[in-house]
């Protein structure tokens, strides 16, 4: 029982990431009708916003402390991060320590901006072009983005620790009378993902803006006839999708040190998630994200990998193939979608 | 027994009854028009005949064989060709190549793996295409890219592709929809010629009464998914049921 | 000649001549001159030109004709390489059985994957092929390289070891060979300041590329090829004209998979080593770029695109900041530093950035590729476009 619960927990963090990326992909596909191969890159950029903020906060002023001497008797150079000299030592250290959650505040405007520029500057001009061209141009963009990040941050993964308070281990089984120690940050990530997902759904469900977007997803032409300027709303939706992917990336950085090729790694799997969930279905994307994440975690157990070596790396694809053959429209896809 | 027999067809979309107990018999060699107000189920009926939709109940037989459940290409290979409301052609290919594809489909069937045969060597196909283009007065446009032509010419090309297959039954879905008067008249002339020269059985779905009464020798009126009258053109005009159906449709 | 009409025969002979004379044509600069670094006439690079030429020609039969955009063709390339290396391991270093098996295995593999993926079209097809390719990569990288069943040798890559059976080897050579002619044999012809290299491996690959090009040409001119183009234009009309599009697309998929297998086999012939990274999505993306850069749907385009990309990959990767500084050293130092700082991210290790940018620029500004661009330029120079009333084919497929 403990073991099963542990695997479920293990699957939740990756599942959350899949769900968040797949949610954005589905939003973009459903509204703009574009398959965005650069969506994984947005996730990756989000993670590097966290990395950048951590570095910026650690920028230090170098002062010479006349009181202290090193062992040769020279005055000692002391590095004090600017934030510490501005806000005092305790507050400054707290700010640095909490840089990843703080990066959320930075990432929201940055990602919205990137999303806006991407849609206005590039994607917009491809609505009327064939799907192949849309795929190709976003694919090219994905390569460009990842190479830019590589040029600035290098090819190696960069450690981006979580705040000390959340870096420890929580016993998740305490209230069940079980011992189920689990990294706290991963739980935080899951809760964070749940909040973001609920936020997006609430936005679509309870605002007029969201209602129009949902109507547009169902039938773009009809909404166009109603004289509602759907294009502008779609630009905003693209920004939101970009922000969701970015936030997913920011918070994922402490779980797995980010590197430049994260984007494509997660993108391919997120596509599979979208297809399994049902192309165009938002709840489907979220559900499939968690299901596949948990499935992958079960396939990573020692028992599974000794039975079939490497099963953890292909399980998602296998499930996707089976689902596509048995139920082409995916778990929650509308009838007719993907069936021709 | 007609060449095409439709028996007790029903088709529902969710709660909407699109077709209800449709019975229709198309006699060989006739031009059979199906008319009716918007939403009467004309297009649904046509889609059931070509394999795009499958009726919930009932049967459709062509020359005595059921064609239900067959794919569009299989139905076409039996000898049923379809002309679309907006001309469906291979727009990036030349006029000649368009007709050629139809000729190959007729001769070689639904699939032929011949990647090393040269098109240039297919003398009989070339002759047939030339002949076909002569017949529809398009010989001078043979090397034009299909997309670059007027709507009337596209319609003409589509017709040529269907005729190149020597179909036993030609289905026409509003062949003059959205056409200028001159193009409409040309199309009527072309269809008349086809009927006279080749005697192909045709089923026409049409809004334009001018077209219907110029061509049809039998008319079925469809209203709310059900045929209400079937008669020769001269008797349709005065039929009170027809007037009611159309007036009723106009009120909606 | 060869069942081609006059124009095609000319084109074909042109390609044959260019390919066979490549060691001369790609070596225009004297060996000792400063420009020698721009020469491409050495065996390793020329082999890559023709091998990736084959890969792109095959990809073009699928993408260029039918419009089905596969993002997983590198999988077939990788499978071809593995098959060839296994033949080296089991039989001998003779390349004939290796090449035959690599084409066959890739054919069977593409038949299976194509059968599933072609149940969908458009973007779904692209996503499915991408997923399959990534799965194949994962299989090659880890699943199929465990102690009990080691088919791919994982990270190290599959290679021939001294204790492999090689049952037919006897006293045969220790490197890949064609009935005794070793593939790394190179004859150098020195003419004045120039040194031209003729390599056996290159000519074997060139021979296969010429065959591959010839077959592609026949396909383009066949009724089968016409149907493939019709699929790209209007699948609805095709079905209502009595043609079944599924077997056509599947045949095109398998043919292009076999081309990829051949290319993979030849990669192993020139260097008997097969690694999983050959199957990754980057490799699939590269062949897509080669094809659209040259011109999808054209005969010459893919070869042109493959050569273009492999050449610039080679040149760009060699350039580092020292080389850049030496170029601009005649300028004032500040301008020199400025130019180097601007160009540096795009060369050397930054080659992929250039590749991605090129990808975008081509799709945005030159969707017809170099061949189409060249034709338009030619028309503008000769003033053909305006005076002639002949309608121009719309290069974009009408969905």
Instruction: Read off the pLDDT of residues C172-196 as tens digits, 9 standing for 90 and up.
Output: 888 999 998 999 999 999 888 888 9
C395 contacts on A by Cβ (under 8 Å): none
Query: Looking up tokens 């899951």, which residue turns up?
Result: A190
Secondary structure of chain A as H, E, C letters: CHHHHHHHHHHHHHHHHHHHHHHHHHHHHHHHCCCCCCHHHHHHHHHHHHHHHHHHHCCEEEEEEEEEECCCCCEEEEEEEHHHHHHCHHHHHHHHHCHHHHHHHHHHHHHHHHHHHHHHHCHHHHCCCCHHHHHHHHHHHHHHHHHHHHHHHCCCCCCCCCCHHHHCEEECCHHHCCCCEEEHHHHHHHHHHHHHHHHHHHHHHHCHHHHHHHHHHHCHHHHHHCCCCHHHHHHHHHHHHHHHHHHHHHHHCCCCCCCCCHHHHHHHHHHHHHHHHCCCCHHHHHHHHHHHHHHHHHHCCHHHHHHCCCHHHHHHHHHHHHHHHHCCCCCCCCCCCCCC
Query: Looking up tokens 């998630």, which residue turns up?
Result: A273
Radius of gyration of chain C (CA): 22
Query: What would the two tokens of residue B102 be?
Result: 């139809």
Task: Please tell me the distance from the alpha carbon of residue C162 to that of residue C164, in angstroms, as a whole number.
Answer: 6
**pLDDT beyond 90 at B128:** yes
Hey, CA dihedral for A273, A276, A281, A287, is it positive or negative?
Answer: negative
Run of H or E including C290:
helix C281-294
Q: Where are the domains of chain A?
A: 2-60+99-326
**pLDDT beyond 80 at C384:** no
**Cβ within 8 Å, pair B116-C222:** yes
Closest Cα partner for A24 from A317, A218, A286, A320?
A286
CA C153 to chain centroid: 25
B228 in helix, strand or coil? strand
Q: How many residues can be counted in chain C?
A: 399
C239 contacts on B by Cβ (under 8 Å): 71-73, 76
Question: How confident is the model at residue C329, as a pLDDT?
Answer: 78
Closest Cα partner for C184 from C87, C93, C98?
C93
Contact B126/C at CB under 8 A: no
Question: How confident is the model at residue C387, as a pLDDT?
Answer: 40
Question: How confident is the model at residue B247, as a pLDDT?
Answer: 63
Closest Cα partner for A162 from A201, A104, A230?
A104
Q: Are B41 and B4 in the same domain?
A: yes
Specify the higher pLDDT residue, A90 or C72.
C72
Mean pLDDT taken over chain A: 85
**pLDDT beyond 90 at A327:** no
Domain housing B231: 1-79+167-252
Closest Cα partner for C215 from C266, C261, C251, C255?
C255
**pLDDT beyond 80 at C110:** yes
Class in CATH terms, A2-60+99-326: mainly alpha
C132 contacts on A by Cβ (under 8 Å): 317, 321
Compute the average pLDDT of residues C336-347: 81
A57 CA: distance to closest CA in chain C (Å): 26
Total number of domains in chain B: 2
Question: How confident is the model at residue C247, as a pLDDT?
Answer: 96
Kindly report which listed range (B235-249, C7-21, C337-351) carries the lowest average pLDDT score: B235-249
Compute the average pLDDT of residues A69-91: 78
* Chain A adjacent subunits, 3+ CB pairs under 8 A: C
The CATH code of the domain that includes B72 is: 3.40.50.300
**Cβ within 8 Å, pair B122-C219:** no
A125 contacts on C by Cβ (under 8 Å): 364
Run of H or E including B12:
strand B4-13
Question: How confident is the model at residue A1, as a pLDDT?
Answer: 67
Q: Which of B67, B94, B111, B173 to mutate to test the interface with C (most CBs of C within 10 A)?
A: B111
Q: E strands within C200-357?
A: 273-274
Compute the average pLDDT of residues C317-328: 79
Q: Which ipTM was obtained for this model?
A: 0.91
Q: Which of A33, A34, A144 to mutate to test the interface with C (most CBs of C within 10 A)?
A: A144
Question: How confident is the model at residue B30, as a pLDDT?
Answer: 92
Compute the average pLDDT of residues A299-303: 86
Task: Please tell me the distance from the alpha carbon of residue C269 to that of residue C176, in angstroms, as a whole number.
Answer: 6
Q: How many residues can be counted in chain B?
A: 252
**Cβ within 8 Å, pair A35-C353:** no
Which of C69, C396, C397 is closest, CB to CB, to A135? C69
pTM for this predicted structure = 0.90
Q: Are B74 and B134 in the same domain?
A: no
Interface of B with C in 45-74 (CB under 8 A): 50, 71-73
pLDDT tens, residue by residue, A253-270: 999 899 988 888 888 888
Q: Which of C112, C131, C369 to mutate to test the interface with A (most CBs of A within 10 A)?
A: C131
**pLDDT beyond 90 at A117:** yes
β-bridge mates for residue C273, sequence order: C159
Query: What would the two tokens of residue C266 be?
Result: 């030849």
Kindly report which listed range (B128-132, B191-195, C321-325) carries the lowest average pLDDT score: C321-325
Work out the pLDDT band at A335, boundaries 50, 70, 90: low
Interface of A with C in 197-256 (CB under 8 A): none
B24 in helix, strand or coil? strand
C148 contacts on A by Cβ (under 8 Å): 309
A43 CA: distance to closest CA in chain C (Å): 18
C81 CA: distance to closest CA in chain A (Å): 21
Contact C151/A at CB under 8 A: no
C227 contacts on B by Cβ (under 8 Å): 101, 104
A177 CA: distance to closest CA in chain C (Å): 38
Give the number of C-alpha atoms closer than 13 A to the C-alpha of residue A115, restricted to the C-beta side: 31
pLDDT tens, residue by residue, A192-232: 999 999 999 999 899 888 888 887 777 766 666 555 677 78
Work out the pLDDT band at C238, boundaries 50, 70, 90: very high
B142, B166, B190 — which closes off a domain?
Answer: B166
Q: Are B116 and B139 in the same domain?
A: yes
Question: How confident is the model at residue A302, as a pLDDT?
Answer: 83
Q: Where are the domains of chain C?
A: 6-299
* Chain C adjacent subunits, 3+ CB pairs under 8 A: A, B
Kindly report which listed range (A113-127, A223-237, A250-264) carries the lowest average pLDDT score: A223-237
B44 in helix, strand or coil? helix
Which of C222, C226, C395 is closest, CB to CB, to B101? C226
Question: How confident is the model at residue C83, as a pLDDT?
Answer: 96
**Cβ within 8 Å, pair C241-B105:** yes
Cβ-count burial B40-79 (b if 16+ within 10 Å, e if not): bbbbbbbbbbbbbbebeebebbbbeeebeebebbbbbbeb
Run of H or E including C1:
none
Residues 6+ apart with CB under 8 A from C73: C55, C58, C59, C62, C129, C133, C256, C257, C260, C284, C287
Question: How confident is the model at residue C50, as a pLDDT?
Answer: 97
Work out the pLDDT band at A90, boundaries 50, 70, 90: confident
Question: How confident is the model at residue A336, as a pLDDT?
Answer: 55
For Cα atoms B95, B98, B100, give the angle at the middle one, nearest 5 degrees.
Answer: 110
Q: Are B69 and B143 in the same domain?
A: no
Task: Please tell me the distance from the alpha carbon of residue A225 to that of residue A217, in angstroms, as a whole number.
Answer: 14
Query: What would the two tokens of residue A95 be?
Result: 């700010």
* Chain B adjacent subunits, 3+ CB pairs under 8 A: C
Compute the average pLDDT of residues A8-22: 90
**Cβ within 8 Å, pair A144-C353:** yes
Compute the average pLDDT of residues C323-330: 79
**Helices and strands of chain C, counted as H and E runs:** 17, 8
C66 CA: distance to closest CA in chain A (Å): 12
Task: Give the residue on C whose Cα is nearest the Cα of A279.
Answer: C124
A184 CA: distance to closest CA in chain C (Å): 30
Compute the average pLDDT of residues A149-177: 83
CB pairs below 8 Å between B and C: how many? 125
Task: Note whether B touches A: 3 CB pairs or more under 8 A.
Answer: no
B29 in helix, strand or coil? coil
**pLDDT beyond 70 at C150:** yes
Query: What would the two tokens of residue C177 be?
Result: 């060979």
Compute the average pLDDT of residues B36-40: 81
pLDDT tens, residue by residue, B144-158: 999 999 888 898 899
Closest Cα partner for C263 from C314, C316, C303, C313?
C303
**pLDDT beyond 50 at B250:** no
Dihedral in degrees, nearest 10, Cα atoms A311, A313, A315, A320 = -150
Which of C121, C353, C360 is closest, CB to CB, to A151? C353
Which of C5, C225, C248 is closest, CB to CB, to B120? C5
B113 CA: distance to closest CA in chain C (Å): 6
CATH code assigned to C6-299: 1.10.3470
Mean pLDDT taken over chain B: 88
**Cβ within 8 Å, pair A130-C355:** no
**Cβ within 8 Å, pair C223-B93:** no
Question: How confident is the model at residue A221, as a pLDDT?
Answer: 63
Residue B85 lies in a domain: no
Compute the average pLDDT of residues A144-171: 87
- Residue C200 in contact with residue C186, Cβ under 8 Å? yes
B147 contacts on C by Cβ (under 8 Å): 394, 398
C142 contacts on A by Cβ (under 8 Å): 309-310, 313
Question: How confident is the model at residue A227, as a pLDDT?
Answer: 59
Task: Please tell me the distance from the alpha carbon of residue C274 to that of residue C264, in angstroms, as a whole number.
Answer: 9
Which of A131, A139, A338 is closest, CB to CB, to C285? A139
Q: Are B115 and B52 in the same domain?
A: no
Contact B123/C at CB under 8 A: no
Mean pLDDT taken over chain C: 89
Task: Please tell me the distance from the alpha carbon of residue A245 to that of residue A84, in angstroms, as a whole number.
Answer: 31
**% of residues, chain B, pLDDT over 70:** 98
Question: How confident is the model at residue A228, as a pLDDT?
Answer: 63
**Cβ within 8 Å, pair A314-C355:** no
β-bridge mates for residue C274, sequence order: C158
- Residue C206 in contact with residue C19, Cβ under 8 Å? yes
Q: Which of A33, A118, A131, A132 to mutate to test the interface with C (most CBs of C within 10 A)?
A: A132
**Cβ within 8 Å, pair B120-C233:** no
**pLDDT beyond 50 at C124:** yes
A131 contacts on C by Cβ (under 8 Å): 69, 122-123, 126
Residues 6+ apart with CB under 8 A from C189: C195, C196, C197, C198
Interface of C with A in 329-388 (CB under 8 A): 345, 350, 352-353, 355-360, 363-364, 367
Question: How confident is the model at residue B32, as a pLDDT?
Answer: 94
Alpha carbon distance, N-terminus to C-terminus of chain A: 43
Residue B84 lies in a domain: no
Question: How confident is the model at residue A293, as a pLDDT?
Answer: 92
Q: Are B207 and B162 in the same domain?
A: no
Give the number of C-alpha atoms closer than 13 A to the C-alpha of residue B163, restricted to the C-beta side: 24
Task: Please tell me the distance from the alpha carbon of residue C264 to that of residue C286, in angstroms, as a whole number.
Answer: 14
């Amino acid at each position: 029982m403990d073991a099963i619960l542990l695997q479920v927990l293990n699957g939740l963090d990756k599942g959350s990431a899949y769900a968040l990326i797949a949610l954005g992909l589905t939003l973009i596909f459903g509204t703009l009708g574009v398959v965005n191969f650069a969506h994984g890159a947005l996730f990756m950029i989000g993670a590097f916003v966290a990395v950048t903020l951590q570095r910026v906060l650690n920028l230090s002023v170098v002062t010479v402390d006349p009181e202290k001497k090193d062992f040769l008797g020279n005055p000692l150079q002391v590095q004090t991060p600017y934030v510490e000299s501005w806000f005092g030592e305790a507050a400054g250290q707290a700010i640095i320590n909490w840089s990843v959650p703080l990066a959320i505040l930075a990432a929201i405007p940055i990602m919205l901006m990137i999303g806006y520029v991407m849609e206005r500057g590039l994607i917009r001009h491809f609505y009327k072009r064939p799907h192949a061209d849309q795929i190709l141009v976003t694919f090219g963009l994905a390569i460009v983005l990842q190479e830019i990040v590589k040029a600035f941050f290098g090819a190696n993964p960069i450690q981006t620790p979580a705040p000390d308070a959340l870096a420890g281990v929580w016993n998740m089984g305490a209230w069940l009378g079980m011992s189920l120690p689990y990294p706290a940050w991963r739980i935080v990530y899951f809760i964070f993902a749940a909040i973001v997902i609920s936020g997006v759904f609430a936005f679509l469900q309870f605002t007029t803006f969201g209602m129009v977007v949902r109507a547009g997803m169902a039938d773009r032409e009809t909404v166009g006839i109603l004289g509602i300027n759907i294009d502008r709303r779609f630009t905003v939706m693209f920004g939101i999708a970009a922000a969701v992917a970015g936030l997913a990336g920011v918070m994922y950085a402490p779980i797995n040190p980010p590197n430049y090729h994260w984007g494509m790694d997660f993108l391919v799997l997120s596509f599979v998630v979208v297809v399994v969930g049902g192309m165009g279905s938002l709840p489907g994307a979220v559900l499939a994200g968690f299901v596949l994440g948990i499935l992958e975690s079960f396939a990573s157990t020692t028992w599974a990998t000794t039975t079939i070596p490497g099963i953890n790396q292909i399980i998602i694809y296998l499930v996707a193939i089976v689902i596509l053959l048995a139920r082409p429209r995916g778990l929650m896809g509308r009838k007719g979608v993907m069936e021709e | 027994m007609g060449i095409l027999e439709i028996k007790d067809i029903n088709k529902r979309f969710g709660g909407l009854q699109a077709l209800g107990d449709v019975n229709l018999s198309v006699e060989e060699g006739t031009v059979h028009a199906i008319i009716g107000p918007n939403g009467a189920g004309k297009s649904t009926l046509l889609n059931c005949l070509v394999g795009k939709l499958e009726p919930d109940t009932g049967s459709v037989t062509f020359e005595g064989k059921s064609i239900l459940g067959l794919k569009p290409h299989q139905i076409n290979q039996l000898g049923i060709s379809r002309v679309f409301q907006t001309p469906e052609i291979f727009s990036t290919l030349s006029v000649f190549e368009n007709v050629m594809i139809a000729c190959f489909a007729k001769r070689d069937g639904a699939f032929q793996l011949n990647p090393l045969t040269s098109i240039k060597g297919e003398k009989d196909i070339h002759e047939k295409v030339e002949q076909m283009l002569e017949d529809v007065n398009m010989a001078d446009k043979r090397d034009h890219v299909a997309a670059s032509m007027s709507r009337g010419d596209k319609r003409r090309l589509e017709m040529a592709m269907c005729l190149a297959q020597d179909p036993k039954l030609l289905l026409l879905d509003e062949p003059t929809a959205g056409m200028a008067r001159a193009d409409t008249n040309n199309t009527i002339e072309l269809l008349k010629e086809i009927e006279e020269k080749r005697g192909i059985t045709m089923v026409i779905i049409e809004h334009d009464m001018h077209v219907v009464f110029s061509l049809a020798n039998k008319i079925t009126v469809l209203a709310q998914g059900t045929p209400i009258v079937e008669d020769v053109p001269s008797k349709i005009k005065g039929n009170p049921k027809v007037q009611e159906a159309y007036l009723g449709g106009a009120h909606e | 000649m060869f069942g081609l009409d006059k124009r095609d025969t000319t084109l074909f002979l042109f390609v044959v001549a260019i390919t066979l004379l490549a060691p001369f044509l790609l070596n225009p600069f004297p060996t000792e001159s400063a420009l020698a670094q721009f020469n491409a006439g050495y065996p390793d690079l020329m082999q890559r030109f023709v091998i990736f030429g084959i890969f792109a020609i095959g990809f073009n039969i699928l993408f260029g004709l039918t419009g089905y955009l596969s993002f997983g063709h590198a999988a077939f390339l990788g499978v071809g390489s593995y098959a060839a290396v296994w033949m080296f391991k089991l039989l001998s270093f003779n390349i004939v059985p290796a090449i035959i098996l690599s084409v066959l295995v890739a054919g069977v593999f593409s038949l299976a994957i194509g059968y599933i993926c072609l149940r969908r079209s458009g973007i779904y097809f692209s996503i499915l092929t991408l997923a399959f390719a990534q799965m194949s990569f994962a299989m090659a990288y880890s699943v199929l390289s465990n102690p009990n069943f080691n088919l791919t040798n994982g990270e190290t890559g599959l290679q021939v070891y001294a204790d492999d059976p090689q049952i037919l080897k006897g006293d045969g050579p220790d490197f890949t060979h064609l009935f005794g002619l070793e593939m790394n044999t190179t004859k150098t012809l020195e003419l004045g300041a120039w040194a031209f290299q003729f390599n056996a491996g290159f000519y074997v690959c060139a021979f296969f590329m010429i065959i591959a090009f010839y077959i592609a040409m026949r396909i383009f001119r066949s009724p089968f090829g016409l149907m493939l183009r019709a699929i790209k234009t209007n699948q609805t009309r095709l079905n209502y004209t009595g043609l079944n599009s599924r077997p056509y697309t599947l045949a095109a998929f398998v043919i292009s998979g076999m081309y990829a297998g051949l290319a993979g086999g030849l990669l192993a012939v020139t260097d008997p080593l097969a690694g999983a990274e050959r199957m990754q999505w980057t490799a699939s993306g590269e062949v897509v770029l080669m094809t659209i850069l040259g011109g999808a749907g054209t005969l010459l385009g893919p070869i042109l695109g493959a050569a273009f990309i492999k050449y610039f990959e080679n040149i760009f990767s060699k350039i580092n900041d020292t080389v850049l500084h030496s170029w601009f050293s005649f300028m004032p130092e500040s301008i020199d530093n400025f130019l180097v700082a601007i160009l540096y991210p795009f060369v050397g290790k930054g080659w992929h950035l250039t590749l991605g940018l090129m990808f975008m620029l081509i799709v945005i500004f030159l969707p017809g590729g170099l061949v189409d661009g060249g034709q338009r330029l030619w028309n503008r120079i000769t003033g053909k476009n305006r005076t002639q009333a002949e309608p121009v084919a719309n290069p974009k497929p009408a969905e």
